[in-house]
Structure 1
Amino acid sequence: MNNMTAPHVALVAITKHGLARALALLAQLPEAHLVVTEKFAPAIPPALPNPVKILSGALSGHMADLFSNYDQLVLFISLGAVVRLMAPHLKSKDEDPGVVVIDDAARYVIPVLSGHVGGANAFALHLAELLGAEVVLTTASDVGKTIPVDILGRELGWQVEAPKINITRVSAHVVNGEPIAFVQEAGSRQWWTRPTPLPSNIHLFDEFEKVDLSSFKAVLWVTRREISASVWEQLKERLVAYRPPLE
């Protein structure tokens, strides 16, 4: 799942007001599917162009299917209920779909699951813009307006290369404002897309050899070079590399 270039989107509504909000949103999301319980099936306009899935029985019995068949799940259901519904089906951020919760009044849009890798944060921002709603982001890199280590450069075709523990450790150093060496030897320079300045703890270099490794908690390295095992060992859990496509 998690194919954000052509997402499979499901808008899930199990209340009267939730269905009304979902129908209004569907007009702006021609690719999205509508998922409702049998109780509200008669309220669906017959000329609705979007695909419709009618659920028999409780929503909980259909969550596994929804998790398997959609990249983005948008649920017009309370946050607490959504947490309980999805808990038995969680695997990993590399496999789980993005999950976004919208309240019945469409005042708040909350990405709940797979905010970065699954694209829920980006999709929630898009939905909030369509609805004129407020998006509620809780991921540290978004709140702190700093580098999202796990998806940096994804829109530019960069591929992250590092053990998962490195991504976790380096992300913590980044959001905690510790000194980070950002080494860019290849790829587009248009990787910083936030309207705010680059955080002061991120220090830019154009060559790895220019970095005094003892002065930095972590290194983000954009390169096409082969990185030796000795360098990975030297930096242990402090290095994340990015591989840009050939230009």
Structure 2
Amino acid sequence: MHSTPNTPSPLVALVAITKHGVAQTAKLAKRLPEAEIVVSEKFAASLPALANTIHVLSGALSGNIGDLFSRYDQIVFFVSLGAVVRLIAPHLKSKEEDPGVLVVDDNARYVIPVLSGHVGGANAYAEYLAALLEAEAVLTTASDVGKTIPVDILGRELGWRVEAPKINITRVSAHVVNEEAIAFVQEAGAENWWTRPTPLPANIHLFERFEEVDLAEHRAVLWVTRRDIAPELWAQLNERLVVYRPPEEQ
């Protein structure tokens, strides 16, 4: 899992291959001295003195994407969105493995998470960069746009581990963003899991024990617990259950 602004020191690359892109990269780099700059040889000399580590591209950017994917948690391209999509397409594996990929336009008005916005942390990093640039983060992930529970990464900053088949996560995420009735059962773990500034959505109903939930009235169950869950219960709640395991110290 890749780092996000909520975890220590994500490895960040700021990538530019045009005159305007290099200029915007330099402005942002002053605010992000820990980020590394990746720049085309043609414009490397135009960079001002910076504290950042600078890498001059060897050859075309397309031949360096694999290396960028393997080295960085967040890759910020000052390159057109269409070009970035074509560049990264041959290197995509899965949302659990791919780094966050973001695009900033030439005028630094918009920060767009393109890849691994959710699990890879690009959405959160886009909002962080937008604040630095006084720009707008363009988010399209349903749970972020709708300000609701991100099923696949809920409690990650608290050390919670998600336990469920992938199909359950997909199905339950859809129920959440479609505003269907969801039972949130918390029997363990820290209670400060809701970190958004907006109120908890009305379709999320809170319970202290699983036995309190009327399964006929709820489309899915999010269950924070240390209990062992019998295979029969997983089968009964076919694709409707996602479990979170908090660390023992919570």
TM-score by length of 1: 0.97
- How far residue 228 of structure 1 moved from its aligned partner, in angstroms, is 1.2
Runs of 4+ in 1 over 2 A off after TM superposition: 3-6
Secondary structure of the residue that 2:239 maps to in structure 1? helix
2-structure distance, mates of 1:140, 1:49: 37
C-alpha distance in 2, partners of 1:228/1:137?
38
Please give the alpha-carbon distance, in whole angstroms, between the structure 2 residues aligned to 1:142 and 1:117. Answer: 12
Q: How do 1:193-212 and structure 2 match up within 5 A? A: 193-212=195-214
Q: Which residue of 1 aligns with 2:2?
A: 2
Aligned equivalents of 1:11, 1:227: Cα separation in 2: 45
| Distance of 2:164 and 2:205 partners within structure 1 | 20
For residues 146-188 of structure 1, what are the alpha-carbon distances to aligned partners after superposition, in whole Å with 9 as ceiling and x for unaligned?
Answer: 1000111111111111111110010000000111110000111
Give the match's secondary structure for 1:96: coil
Structure 2 residue aligned with 1:218: 220
**Structure 1 residue 195, shift from structure 2 partner:** 1.4
- 1:245, distance to aligned residue in structure 2 (A): 1.2
Counterpart position of 1:180: 182
Q: Percent identity?
A: 73
Distance in structure 2 (CA, Å) of the matches to 1:161 and 1:31: 34
Q: Separation in 2 of the partners of 1:219 and 1:127?
A: 34
* Matches of 1:20 and 1:38, distance apart in 2: 14
Q: Give the secondary-structure state (helix, strand or coil) at the position aligned to 1:43.
A: coil
2:28 corresponds in structure 1 to: 25
1:1-247 correspondence to structure 2 within 5 Å: 2-4=2-4, 5=7, 6-45=9-48, 47-246=49-248, 247=250
Query: Structure 1, unaligned stretches of length 5 or more?
Result: none
Matched positions, count:
246
Distance in 2, Cα, partners of 1:147 & 1:90: 26
Cα offsets for 1:185-214 (capped at 9, x unmatched): 011111111111111111110000111111
Cα distance in 1, alignment partners of residues 100 and 233 from structure 2: 35
Residue 56 of structure 1, CA deviation: 2.4
CA shift, 1:3, in A, is 2.8
Conserved? CA contact 2:28–2:133, under 8 Å? yes
Find the aligned partners of 2:43 and 2:28 in 1 and give their Cα distance.
Answer: 17
Give the C-alpha shift of residue 33 in structure 1: 0.4
How far did residue 28 of structure 1 move?
Answer: 1.3
What TM-score does the superposition give when structure 2 sets the normalisation length?
A: 0.96
Q: Aligned to 2:238, what secondary structure does the other structure show?
A: helix
Following the alignment from structure 2 to structure 1, what is the Cα–Cα distance between the partners of residues 32 and 163?
A: 34
2:98 and 2:129 mapped to 1: Cα distance? 20
How many angstroms does 1:57 deviate by?
Answer: 2.0
Deviates more, 1:226-235 or 1:127-136: 226-235
SS of the residue corresponding to residue 101 of structure 1 reads strand
- Once the two structures are superposed, what CA deviation does each residue of 1:202-235 show, in whole Å capped at 9, x if it has no partner? 1110000111111111100001111111111111
Contact 2:23 2:47 in 1 (8 A): no
